[in-house]
A and B are shown apart, each in its own frame.
Chain A
Amino acid sequence: MIVTLAVFAGLAAVAAWWLVQQGLAEKPWLGTQPAAELVAPGTPRLPTAKIGLGIFLAVAGLLLSLIVSSYVMRMEMADWRPLPRPALLWANTGVLVLSSLALHWAVRAARRGDRAGVQDGMVMGGLTALLFLAGQFLAWRQLSAAGYRPATGPADAFFYLITAVHGLHLLGGLVALGRAGVKLARGAPMHVLRLSVELCATYWHFLLLAWLCLFAVLAYAPSVTAFLALCIAPFR
């Protein structure tokens, strides 16, 4: 559970940093300031949807970290038999990077007010994401053809589970991207569009980061184990 606790500690640190700024030491029973003085006018506020997405990402991040935790705990056992990793995963990783870059491009275009640029970025981002999913599916086919199926061993099961969970999250992102595309097609005003594209891009970057972590754990698992063993040795 060390991975989970590390992620949890990170989230707790962010929460604590935020709470400290909220005047938790103030004594609300003393005096009644006029309401107008309580919030300085012009205090920058993030759009509600962005905060919502941020919290969702915290939850999704913890979910993934729990799976990684389970994986790492299982890996420490003596009978661990790692999986061969298909070279295809490297190509898929590259495609996912492209996808993230494309959405970043779309955000830049939206900030300039360039509708055509937004459209290009979103189409590219969507297509590359689909390509990534197809590539992952192909990697599954290759593995299962080589005799590595979910039921053949713990490492195999974890590989399918981790890639499936990540893929499902991307699929959900594609639904959101599709909805943003509908807004674009219907000629929604630029500030509305821009928010949608920004939300999608944030989600994509998160999934890229998550995939890089998951890929590292899946591909270089033994060295991670050794590293972890080193870290927790004093507590054994």
Chain B
Amino acid sequence: MGEAVHPANTAIPHDHAEEVELYHPHSWWTRYVFSQDAKVIGVQYSLTAIGIGLVALVLSWLMRLQLGFPGTFDFIDPPAYYQFITMHGMIMVVYLLTALFLGGFGNYLIPLMLGARDMVFPYVNMLSYWVYVLAVLVLVASFFAPGGPTGAGWTLYPPQAILSGTPGGQDWGIILMLLSLALFIIGFTMGGLNYVVTVLQARTRGMTLMRMPLTIWGIFTATVMALLAFPALFVGAVMMLLDRLLGTSFFMPSLVEMGQQLKYGGGSPILFQHLFWFFGHPEVYIVALPAFGIVSDLIATHARRNIFGYRMMVWAIVAIGALSFVVWAHHMYVSGMNPYFGFFFATTTLIIAIPTAIKVYNWLLTLWRGDIHLNVPMLFALGFIVTFVNGGLTGLFLGNVVVDVPLSDTMFVVAHFHMVMGVAPIMVIYGGIYHWYPKITGRMLDETMGKIHFWVTFLGAYLIFFPMHYLGLLGVPRRYHDIGQAAFVPDSAHTLNAFISVVALVVGAAQMLFLFNLAWSLRRGRQAGPNPWGATTLEWQTPETPPGHGNFGPELPVVHRWAYDYSVPGAARDFIPQNEPDPAGRAA
């Protein structure tokens, strides 16, 4: 907190409130490990998330091996298979995507893009990261606990989640999973408070809200949403933990298991579904909104055009954020709820298509007649748009009750959400890393390796998930260890499954090339210089690359314009940085 001389609560002139006392590291440990510098914390978050994401990648390989070649691999028995799908889903959604977008990109970019020296509560920020690490360690510990991790499915529906028939249900698996989630949420809340308050309080002079880059708008809105959505998961996790440990009956009805009447009675499993999806649906947009923001900036920068409809983009982000809290029950159409509720939630769900479509049109219109540079970040941005449209269209199918009911729990659903919140956000994460790596390390990632990585990932993802829609329409169920010989599943479906599995192995292997590129370019990459892409936003205008402690020189930058002054007629260059004053005489 600023040790300013102003007594609290009195009016502080804006131009005196900027300079804050910075935390100064004194040793290697406090500089690189227990660092309070948001840039270091951002990189730490990203590396941890990628690390645990690799575990989830390996799990997906194992799942695909079983689905493609059932009966070939003895060690993938049904309990192991359920454990793999559960941990794969949970890690990817929470510990990889959420942590990487908000903890990783958020920490690195918010202070830099807003012209701030650091987050407003650096110590809390550091705690946030270490609590996240603890959550990841507890999660990993469940792999080594007796009985292994939980196999309850990533939605952890009770009552099965804590019964003995589910892997980890009566062992350590579910306990560690719930503990880990609770820790993650506590850690995230600390970080989230930081991101929001930094955006509110630490913007530099001239950086009005409507001059913020869309990346910041996306991360900011998503953080607000996450702060409001994660408590629902927290409450659900704590209540289920009490059911499991203290024998309470929040979610557990009275039931008979293997001829034994259990001690539970009077709980409501549907209650958990409400809590879970009150978190679960906003979570989709918690991942998508930062992706929307980042991709807007990638497209504007690499097409050398101002973003089309900036105001609409901002309004759409805010509207999507608000709407996403009133659609949760579209995940529960088959839970036996009142049909009028289904009608209500189908309507709100389909309304979200409007702001989302506005964004897609604006991206396309930004590209229209732009000077498109088909470099790696741009390729990933284009890949995102196509994939997101694909996933969004199948979302229209599933948002309607009458279509959703027969498609529930089929591979169609798996294909839909992997397209919309798996592949699409990952495309943006890659695009973002290729885009900002030069600022983080001072060197460019290798272009050739990047292009191979893109094409294998992009085409591979389509080869995996397009056929999966077809399997779903046939009625092939998800979550089955082995579909066996069913009359409605033709032989060709089995062949298709084997094909998907082979492609999945190849796409997974291509990610190793990306990791190699990250490591190789750290030393051998081409020197990037301060602003290799000719971008306008403040992080590219720092005096040092990589930015030093405190981000900017003795004076904080002053913002004179919005973030998208590309190809301005009459300007000397095809971009004008945000902190460049207006030359006298140019018409306003």
Alpha-carbon distance A79/B249, docked complex (angstroms): 13
Cα A92 to Cα B9 in complex, Å, equals: 33
> Given A28-B210, A157-B249, A194-B7: A45 and B17 within 8 A (CB)?
yes
Distance in Å: Cβ of A176 to nearest Cβ of chain B: 13
The answer, yes or no, to whether A229 is at the interface (CB within 8 Å) is no
- Whether A35 contacts B7 in the complex (CB less than 8 A), given A12-B322, A41-B14, A63-B235, comes out as no
Complex: A70 Cα to B271 Cα, angstroms:
7
Cβ of B248 and Cβ of A157 under 8 Å apart?
A: yes
* B17 engages A26 (CB within 8 Å): no
Which residue of chain B lies nearest to A29 when distances are taken between CB atoms in the complex? Answer: B562
Contact B201 A70 (CB under 8 A): no
Q: Which interface residue of B6, B201, B205 has the most chain A CB atoms within 10 A?
A: B201
17 contacts between A and B (CB under 8 A): A4-B232, A15-B224, A28-B561, A32-B561, A39-B15, A45-B12, A45-B17, A47-B9, A62-B228, A63-B234, A70-B275, A73-B274, A79-B266, A150-B242, A154-B250, A158-B250, A198-B8
Interface majority SS (helix, strand, loop, mixed), chain A: helix
Query: CB within 8 A of A51: which of B197, B238, B564?
Result: B197
A77 B268 Cβ-Cβ under 8 A: yes
* Residue in A49, A70, A73 whose Cβ sees the most chain B Cβ within 10 Å: A70
Interface string of B190-203 (1 = CB under 8 A from A): 00010011001110
Partner of A30, one of B200, B268, B588: B588
A134 contacts the other chain (CB 8 A): no
Residues B588 and A31 in contact, CB atoms below 8 Å apart: yes
Taking CB atoms and an 8 Å cut-off, the chain A residues in 40-67 that contact chain B are: 40-52, 55-56, 58-59, 62-63, 66-67
Whether A150 and B15, one on each chain, are in contact in the complex, defined by CB atoms closer than 8 angstroms, is no
Contact check, B193 vs A191: say whether CB atoms are below 8 A apart: no
Specify which of B8, B193, B250 is in contact with A195 (CB 8 Å cutoff): B8
Question: Which of B96-104, B306-314, B522-530 lies at the binding interface?
Answer: B306-314
Separation of A27 and B285 alpha carbons in the complex (Å)? 26
10 cross-chain pairs, A with B, having the tightest CB-CB distances, nearest first: A31-B588, A35-B206, A28-B562, A157-B248, A151-B247, A191-B7, A63-B231, A195-B8, A32-B582, A44-B11
Contacts of A87 in B (CB 8 A): none
Residue interface mask B6-37, A partner, CB < 8 A = 1: 11111111110100000000000000000000
- In the complex, A15→B196 CA distance in Å? 12
With A45-B12, A51-B201, A154-B248 given, name 16 new contacts (CB 8 A).
A29-B565, A32-B581, A45-B11, A47-B8, A48-B121, A52-B120, A52-B197, A56-B193, A70-B239, A70-B271, A70-B274, A150-B242, A151-B246, A153-B266, A158-B250, A191-B8
User: Distance in Å from the Cβ of B208 to the closest Cβ of chain A?
Assistant: 6
Tell whether B475 is near chain A: CB-to-CB under 8 Å: no
Q: Can you name the residue of chain B whose Cβ is closest to the Cβ of A21? A: B209
A33 CB to closest chain B CB (Å) equals: 8
For residue B231, which residues in chain A have a CB less than 8 angstroms away from its CB? 59, 62-63, 66
Interface residues of B in 203-220 (CB under 8 A from A): 205-206, 208-211
Query: At the interface, yes or no: A219 with Cβ under 8 Å from chain B?
Result: no
- Mask: chain A, 178-222; 1 = CB below 8 Å from B; 0 = not: 000000000000111011001000000000000000000000000
Chain B residue total in the interface (Cβ 8 A)? 74
- Is the beta-carbon distance between A59 and B15 smaller than 8 angstroms? no
**B560: Cβ under 8 A from any A Cβ:** yes
| Alpha-carbon separation in the docked complex, A153 to B211 (Å) | 55
CB neighbours (8 Å) of B1 from chain A are: 47-49
**Would you call A24 and B315 a contact (CB within 8 A)?**
yes
Contacts of A70 in B (CB 8 A): 235, 239, 250, 271, 274-275
Query: Is A147 engaged at the interface, CB distance under 8 Å to the other chain?
Result: no
Q: Which residues of B contact A4 (CB under 8 A)?
A: 232, 278
Closest to A61 in B: B231
Query: Is B373 interfacial (CB 8 A cutoff)?
Result: no
B2 adjacent to chain A (CB < 8 Å): yes
Q: A48-B201, A49-B1, A151-B246 are in contact. Are A66 and B232 (CB under 8 A)?
A: yes
Q: How far is the CB of A26 from chain B (nearest CB, A)?
A: 5
The answer on a CB contact under 8 Å between A55 and B205 is no
Contact (A55, B196) CB under 8 Å given A28-B310, A157-B248:
yes
Chain B hits for A36, CB < 8 A: 205
**Is B372 at the interface (CB under 8 A from chain A)?**
no
In whole angstroms, what is the CA distance A153 to B209 when docked?
A: 50
Q: What CA separation (Å) do A158 and B268 show in the bound complex? A: 13
B550-578 toward A: CB 8 Å interface, digit per residue (1/0)?
00000000111110110000000000000
Greatest chain A CB density within 10 A among B7, B11, B558 is at B7
Q: Is the CB of B208 within 8 A of A38?
A: yes
Asked if B201 and A23 sit within 8 Å, CB to CB, the answer is no
Chain B's closest residue to A155 (CB) is B266
Question: Most B CB atoms within 10 A — which of A32, A41, A194?
Answer: A32
CA separation between A194 and B10, bound complex, in Å?
12
The residue in chain A whose Cβ has the minimal distance to the Cβ of B201 is A48
Residue in contact with B209 in the complex, picked from A22, A154, A161, A191, CB distance below 8 Å: A22
B335 within 8 A of A: no
Q: Please tell me if the beta carbons of B588 and A161 are within 8 angstroms of each other in the complex.
A: no
- Cβ 8 A contact of A39, one of B205, B238, B561: B205
Q: Is the CB of A1 within 8 A of B274?
A: yes
In the complex, are the beta carbons of B196 and A26 less than 8 A apart?
Answer: no
A154 to B268, CA, bound (A): 10
Q: Is the CB of A59 within 8 A of B268?
A: no
Say yes or no: is A235 at the interface (Cβ < 8 Å to chain B): yes
Q: Does A39 lie within 8 Å of B278, measured CB to CB?
A: no
| B17: A residues at CB distance < 8 A | 45
| B227/A58 in contact, CB under 8 A | yes
The answer to whether B315 touches A41, judged by C-beta atoms less than 8 angstroms apart, is no
Contact yes or no, B2 A48, CB < 8 A: yes
Distance in angstroms from B16 CB to nearest chain A CB is 9
Bound form: Cα–Cα A25–B210 in Å:
9
Mask for B90-128, Cβ within 8 A of A = 1, else 0? 000000000000000000000000000000110000000
A24 & B209 in contact (Cβ 8 Å cutoff) = yes
The residue of chain A having its C-beta at the shortest distance from the C-beta of B211 within the complex is: A28
A19 within 8 A of partner (CB): yes
Decide if B278 touches A66 in the complex (CB within 8 Å). yes
Alpha-carbon distance between A5 and B232 when the two chains are bound, in angstroms: 12
Residues of A within 8 A of B6 (CB): 191
B325 & A8 in contact (Cβ 8 Å cutoff): yes
